[in-house]
Structure 1
Amino acid sequence: MLRQAAKRAAITGGLHVARVIGTTGLMRDARGRGAIFTLHHVRPKQPLAFDPNGHLEITPDFLETAIVRLKRDGYRFITLDALPVHLASNDPRPVAVFTLDDGYRNNLEHAAPVFSRHAVPFTVFVAGGFIDRTNILWWEVLADLLNRNTSLQFQFDGIETLPAETLQQKQAAFDRIAAFIQTIDEATAVERLKTFAASQGVDALKLTADLTLDAAGLKRLIENPLASLGAHTISHRALARLPDNFARDEMEQSARRVEAITGRRPVSLAYPYGYAGTVSPRDHRLAQDLGFTTAVTTQPGTLNDRLDKTALPRISLNGHFQKAGFVSALASGIAFQLMGAR
């Protein structure tokens, strides 16, 4: 926990520096042509003693604050599908694109009303396994288990009992299991977590149903003319770690699942996790071959017309940094240039 606190303090300091530089007019080019923003949960804050996924959650009030600040800073709001045309144009105005990953229920209940008040379009990326309640959100399940228990058994190479009495121990257990899920076959590791959850009386698939929209809910969401759906694979596994045919099938079947809901094949894709090591140049090529005109990562950065449209960066609106000034600092791109210069 101390390490995480130090990391947050360093990020906060960097954002303050970026904000100050931005007010001077220096590094103006870092803003580029605009930015794509990543969100997950949008809901009123529910205080938890242990909240390892807090960075994936912002409040509706902060979403409104972010939109108002971007308007003040001169941004124009467009759909993700319209982004290639913007990048190919000579329009000097920066654009802001809003995307939300995983299809949480609160996207309909809390995020959509905010977007509607400000006439801001948004794209929700949905995984077929969440829609159909066949796959679990393992990070949500793991957090729930650690909040319930003072120790946790998990099968690594062998079965180990991890202490989880203190917040530090809970975070260490979360980090170790999360890292393990990315080191062996992901489906196998997640199935082990699902099995342990069942032994503790936790129905992991019910948690998926409680947290995410099913097909009927997504149809209600897209009744909003500002809303659109994008593909996010079926099983939400790291594509770079899958064989070619598996990765292709994850993308293709996801597109078909979305089309079955909307009546229109999606042209946008979000890679699960989206950071280095979970998505590769091969996956960019597969996305292009399958007809996706835009595909987004979670690599941070702003937009320019030289970017590969199947490897676009996004900026996370992080639950730990919910201040208007941080929105301007992030959108300026200055922080990312400073990090890249190190």
Structure 2
Amino acid sequence: MLKEALVRLGAPALLRALLGGRGTILVLHRVRAPDPDLMFEVNQRNSIPPEQLTGLLDILAAERIEVVGLDEALARLAAPHAGRFACLTFDDGYRDNHDTLLPILAARRVPATVYVAPGLIDGTAPLWWYALDQAIARTARLRLPMPEETEIPCGDRAAKERAFALAAGFMLRATPEQAARLNAALVERHGADPAALAARHMMTWDMVRALAASPFVEIGAHTLTHPPLAVLPPAAAAAEMAQSRARLERETGRPVRHLAYPYGTPGTTGAREAALAAELGFRSAVTTVPGTLGRRHAAECHAWPRHGIGPADGPAAIRLKLAGLANPLAARG
């Protein structure tokens, strides 16, 4: 109600003049209805239904914000005068990006970038957030190496919420070896099936190639195995970025010019990762730190902010995000 009141009072126009910058990158993941098999809000938060996406496109059109690709965003940031723009980006490589998103983009004739992690497509990088969701939903006690053996009660909903938050927080700072041990425990002790999860949720390579062949989709790199890059040594972090690009280019036959950091938060991504992305020749790299793009981002193009769009974002929330409200400090140009 507060957001709607702010919009009625004309706040977006005022905020846009102060904080709106030149453009906005929007980060989404999935285009589908809520999944009844997933318990935790954080896993539902990454999905919006198709009608919400088309509503978002209607708002952008009404606000006279042109949807452009990332190369055009770079050009507009470098130009002295350019119209307001937004970029649509989708992370990970989910199946509905092919089944639902692609037809919407084609019908509306708007571009988007889909950042793909090859390991998630292959099933060699487990969807631990979904495996953890399933394990906690059906057990009263979780036992996981975090990194020491830890037993976590999961008897009621509140306990399950705490268990998920604890285990997910560990995974965002886990080394590859620690993450592998936890994933193995989810399989051996709690019945997780990484191959089945990948088959259900992720695109096939044929689907990735179909997206890459569309004039409305650019495929971007999202590392090879979707790790929190900050925990890796520099050479390993660079290899994750470079090998992701190389595999995607082999599979699609198209150049891969842009990168999204997995998770993209200050704890998982920082100045070191931005320097590595620049050294590897990526034209841009995006975080999940909220904010809009200003003049300085023409040069600082390897740590671009993105506003997240989730199922709770109605028209008022979207207009305020486009105006730069979510993170004023990041929005300054």
TM-score, structure 1 as length reference: 0.89
Give the 3-state SS of the residue equivalent to 2:142 in structure 1.
Answer: strand
Post-superposition Cα deviations, 1:210-233, rounded to whole Å, max 9, x if no partner, equal 211122120122232101100000
Contact residue 174 and residue 231 of structure 2 kept, 8 A: no
- Find out whether 1:313 has 2:301 as its counterpart: no
The residue that corresponds to 1:266 in the other structure is 256
CA deviation after TM superposition for structure 1 residue 50, in Å: 2.1
CA deviation after TM superposition for structure 1 residue 165, in Å: 2.5
The residue that corresponds to 1:101 in the other structure is 91
Note closer, same or farther for the CA distance 1:294–1:183 as it changes in structure 2 (3 Å cut): closer
Aligned partner of 2:25 among 25, 30, 36: 36
Q: Which amino acid aligns with 2:303?
A: A
CA deviation after TM superposition for structure 1 residue 286, in Å: 1.0
CA deviation after TM superposition for structure 1 residue 194, in Å: 3.2
Q: Hey, what's the Cα distance between the residues in 2 that align with 1:25 and 1:124?
A: 30
Aligned partner of 1:198 among 188, 204, 208: 188
Aligned partner of 2:323 among 314, 332, 340: 332
Q: What are the residue-to-residue correspondences of 1:14-33 with 2, within 5 Å?
A: 15-16=3-4, 19=7, 22-23=10-11, 25-29=13-17, 30-33=19-22
Q: Hey, what's the Cα distance between the residues in 2 that align with 1:299 and 1:275?
A: 6
Note closer, same or farther for the CA distance 1:129–1:74 as it changes in structure 2 (3 Å cut): same
Post-superposition Cα deviations, 1:317-338, rounded to whole Å, max 9, x if no partner, equal 02232x1221111111023228
Q: Which piece of structure 1 moves more, 158-167 or 225-234?
A: 158-167
- Structure 2: any 5+ residue segments left out of the alignment? none
Post-superposition Cα deviations, 1:258-313, rounded to whole Å, max 9, x if no partner, equal 10122133110000110102112111111111110111000000011212111100
Post-superposition Cα deviations, 1:85-132, rounded to whole Å, max 9, x if no partner, equal 111113442101000000000111111122222111011101121122
CA deviation after TM superposition for structure 1 residue 156, in Å: 2.6
Contact residue 249 and residue 255 of structure 2 kept, 8 A: yes
Contact residue 271 and residue 297 of structure 1 kept, 8 A: yes
Give the 3-state SS of the residue equivalent to 1:250 in structure 2.
Answer: helix
Q: Which amino acid aligns with 2:22?
A: R
The residue that corresponds to 1:124 in the other structure is 114
Percent of aligned pairs with the same residue? 33
Q: Which piece of structure 1 moves more, 309-318 or 110-119?
A: 110-119
- Find out whether 1:220 has 2:210 as its counterpart: yes
Q: Hey, what's the Cα distance between the residues in 1 that align with 2:200 and 2:243?
A: 24
CA deviation after TM superposition for structure 1 residue 339, in Å: 9.4
The residue that corresponds to 2:35 in the other structure is 46
Post-superposition Cα deviations, 1:241-267, rounded to whole Å, max 9, x if no partner, equal 211110111111011011012213311
Count of matched residue pairs: 328
Aligned partner of 1:302 among 274, 286, 292: 292
Note closer, same or farther for the CA distance 1:298–1:339 as it changes in structure 2 (3 Å cut): closer
Post-superposition Cα deviations, 1:172-221, rounded to whole Å, max 9, x if no partner, equal 00011111223442442343233333333321232123211122120122
Note closer, same or farther for the CA distance 1:243–1:111 as it changes in structure 2 (3 Å cut): same
Contact residue 145 and residue 197 of structure 1 kept, 8 A: no
Note closer, same or farther for the CA distance 1:339–1:223 as it changes in structure 2 (3 Å cut): closer
Q: Which piece of structure 1 moves more, 226-235 or 199-208?
A: 199-208
Give the 3-state SS of the residue equivalent to 1:136 in structure 2.
Answer: coil
The residue that corresponds to 2:165 in the other structure is 175
Contact residue 212 and residue 254 of structure 2 kept, 8 A: no
Give the 3-state SS of the residue equivalent to 1:27 in structure 2.
Answer: helix
Note closer, same or farther for the CA distance 1:191–1:91 as it changes in structure 2 (3 Å cut): farther
Q: Hey, what's the Cα distance between the residues in 1 that align with 2:219 and 2:52?
A: 23
Note closer, same or farther for the CA distance 1:184–1:209 as it changes in structure 2 (3 Å cut): same
Over the aligned positions, Cα root-mean-square deviation in angstroms equals: 2.2
TM-score, structure 2 as length reference: 0.92
Q: Hey, what's the Cα distance between the residues in 1 that align with 2:67 and 2:185?
A: 44
Contact residue 290 and residue 330 of structure 2 kept, 8 A: no
Contact residue 302 and residue 315 of structure 1 kept, 8 A: yes
- Structure 1: any 5+ residue segments left out of the alignment? 1-11
Give the 3-state SS of the residue equivalent to 1:106 in structure 2.
Answer: helix
Q: Hey, what's the Cα distance between the residues in 2 that align with 1:295 and 1:157?
A: 31
Q: Hey, what's the Cα distance between the residues in 1 that align with 2:12 and 2:27?
A: 27
Give the 3-state SS of the residue equivalent to 1:172 in structure 2.
Answer: helix
Note closer, same or farther for the CA distance 1:55–1:248 as it changes in structure 2 (3 Å cut): same
Q: Which piece of structure 1 moves more, 21-30 or 203-212?
A: 21-30
Q: Hey, what's the Cα distance between the residues in 2 that align with 1:72 and 1:340?
A: 22
